[in-house]
């Protein structure tokens, strides 16, 4: 790009010299003005073209980066799906989840059974406490009555 720009500047300089050397003042002045305007327009277009070219290069680089990132994401997703579906030397995650569900169901039934036994133990414990209290109170009443009968027998005699 710099070579073509330098070539254009060289040609414009040559044209300007030719116009300057010509002896026509009014016509030369118009031609110089026209040449100056054309030069400014050409330079403006060249700058705009260079700016768009730089923006295009940046856009292409960003798209390339996005494509590379998408390829990495796709590769990682394929790997993750394989691990979930097929496993990686161990059972797959789907199979492991199924095993966990079976284990949880088994534990739920065991917990329900333990709860039933715990309720039975608590009921039996309450029943034995009441039986102990009833037996103890019966023994105390019997001992009191025996003592009263002994005292009454001793007083008679």
pLDDT tens column, 81-105 = 887 778 777 888 888 888 888 888 8
User: pTM of the prediction?
Assistant: 0.40
Distance CA 141, CA 59 (A): 104
Are residues 19 and 68 located together in one domain of the fold? yes
Q: How many domains does the chain have?
A: 2
* Banded model confidence at residue 65, pLDDT cuts 50, 70, 90: very high
Are residues 34 and 85 located together in one domain of the fold? yes
Are residues 85 and 115 located together in one domain of the fold? no
Are residues 2 and 71 located together in one domain of the fold? yes
Domain that holds residue 51: 1-90
Please enumerate in sequence order all residues whose Cβ is within 8 A of that of 91, keeping only pairs 6 or more positions apart, or say none.
99
Are residues 44 and 59 located together in one domain of the fold? yes
Distance CA 101, CA 118 (A): 25
Are residues 127 and 102 located together in one domain of the fold? yes
Q: Which residue has the tokens 């001992």?
A: 143
Of 24-28, 41-45, 85-89, 126-130, which gets the smallest average pLDDT?
24-28
């Amino acid at each position: 790009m710099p070579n073509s720009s330098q070539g254009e500047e060289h040609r414009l300089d040559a044209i300007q010299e030719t116009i300057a050397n010509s002896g026509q003042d009014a016509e030369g002045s118009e031609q110089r003005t026209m040449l100056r305007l054309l030069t400014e327009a050409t330079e403006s277009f060249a700058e705009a073209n260079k700016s768009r070219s730089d923006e295009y290069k940046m856009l292409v680089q960003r798209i390339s980066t996005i494509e590379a990132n998408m390829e990495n994401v796709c590769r990682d997703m394929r790997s993750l799906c394989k691990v979930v579906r097929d496993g990686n030397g161990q059972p797959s995650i789907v199979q492991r989840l199924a095993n966990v569900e079976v284990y949880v169901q088994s534990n739920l039934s065991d917990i329900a059974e333990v709860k039933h036994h715990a309720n039975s133990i608590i009921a039996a414990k309450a029943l034995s406490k009441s039986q102990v209290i009833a037996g103890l109170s019966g023994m105390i009443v019997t001992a009191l009555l025996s003592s009263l009968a002994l005292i009454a027998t001793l007083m008679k005699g």
